[in-house]
Amino acid sequence: MIKAIYQKTVPEKLRLQLHISLRKLKSVALSGDRFYCPCCTKSFSKFLSKGNGLELRPNAVCANCGSLERTRLLYLYLNNETSIFEGNPTILHFAPEDILKSKLVANPNYTDADINPNLARVQMDITDIKFENSYFDFIICSHVLGHIPDEKKALAELYRVLKPGGHLFFMSLINPDAAETFEDPQAVSPQQRLEAYGERDLQRLYGTDFGQRIRSSKVIVEQIDYRVHFSDDERRRMSLGDGKREIIYKVVKM
C-alpha cells in the first residue's frame, strides 16, 4: 500500500533519480575488488542483487553505474568488436541503458528513444520509427522486442531504418531449454505474465528459435555468446551472467 501511494504521489522521473541516488549511496559500503565493472571501471566487494518476483540474481547490478550482466557483456562486445565508439556513426538506441548512453551521447548522430518519455530524450514507438529508410549505421535493441505486442511490425521498422551493411544488436530473455517461443493468450495481467514468462510486462518468452524469428530475406543473423571470450574468473569477477539474458544477436542488413 505504501509503495502504491509512493508511485502515485511521486513523479516517475523523480523516483528514478532517487533510485539512482540510493544505489550510489549503497556503493559506499561495498568497497573491495572482488567484483569489477568494465562499464564504469569501479570495483566492489559485491554487486547488488536483482529480483523479478520469482528469482533473485545475486551480484547482478553495479552499484555505481547500474549496469546489469547483459549491459556489461554488451559493452565489452561493442568496445572490442565494433566501431560504434569511433567517429560519429548514426546510432539508434532503444530503451537506453544509462551507462551505455553516457558513452554514446556526445555523438551528435546518436538518438536514444523509448515509448516512455521519462526514460529517453526522444519518445518513440518502435513500431513507428520516425526516421527515413536506411538511416542508421547501428541500432541497439536490448531486452525490448519481447515486450512489444506486434513483434513483426517492430522488426519491419527496425530493418527499414537500418542502412545496408548496418549492424543491429538484439538481446532478450531466452529459455535455453525451449526449442520454441512460448506465448500464452491467457496471460494478460502482470502477475500472469510474471508466472508465464518471468517478467511482468513480457508478451512472450523466447526459446532457442529467437534467431529464426528475427530472420528475413533482408538480413543476416549471427548468434554470439561473447562470454566464451573470457575466463571463468573474469566472467565471475565481471558477473557476465548465465546466458539466459546475455546472448547477442548481430543482425547485418544486406
* Mean per-residue pLDDT, 52-57: 87
**Is 5 a residue whose pLDDT tops 70?**
no
Q: Where are the domains of the chain?
A: 2-61, 69-253
Least confident segment among 19-28, 58-67, 124-133: 19-28
CA separation for the pair 117, 108 (Å, rounded): 20
pLDDT at residue number 68: 99
Given a contact cutoff of 8 angstroms between Cβ atoms, the answer to whether 50 and 60 are in contact is yes
> Can you say whether the dihedral through the CA atoms of 187, 192, 194, 198 is positive or negative?
negative
How do residues 180-223 score in pLDDT, each as one tens digit?
999 999 999 999 999 999 999 999 999 999 999 999 999 999 99
What is the 3 state secondary structure string of the chain? CHHHHHHHHCCHHHHHHHHHHHHHHHHHHHCCCCEECCCCCCEECCCEEEECCCCEEEEEECCCCCCCHHHHHHHHHHHHHCCCCCCCCCEEEECCCHHHHHHHCCCCCEEEEECCCCCCCEECCCCCCCCCCCCEEEEEEECCHHHCCCHHHHHHHHHHHEEEEEEEEEECCECCCCCCCECCCCCCCHHHHHHHHCCCCCCCEECCCHHHHCCCCCEEEEEECHHHHCCHHHHHHHCCCCCCCCCEEEEEEC
Q: Which CATH class is domain 69-253?
A: alpha beta
pLDDT band (50, 70, 90) for residue 12: confident
The pLDDT value recorded for residue 228 is 98
Amino acid at residue number 168: L
Local confidence band at 15 (pLDDT 50, 70, 90 cut-offs): confident
The model's pLDDT over 134-184, given as tens digits with 9 standing for 90+, comes to: 999 999 999 999 999 999 999 999 999 999 999 999 999 999 999 999 999
Percent of the residues in the chain that have a pLDDT greater than 70, as a whole number: 96
| pTM assigned to the model | 0.94
- Residue 64 in this model has a pLDDT that exceeds 90: yes
**pLDDT of 4:** 62
CA distance 124 to 129: 7
pLDDT value at residue 9? 72
CA–CA separation, 49 and 24 (whole Å): 14
Average pLDDT over residues 103-116: 98
Look at residue 69 in the predicted model and tell me its pLDDT: 99
Instruction: Return all residues near 235 (Cβ < 8 A) that are at least 6 apart.
Output: 227
Secondary structure of 91-159 in the HEC alphabet?
EEEECCCHHHHHHHCCCCCEEEEECCCCCCCEECCCCCCCCCCCCEEEEEEECCHHHCCCHHHHHHHHH
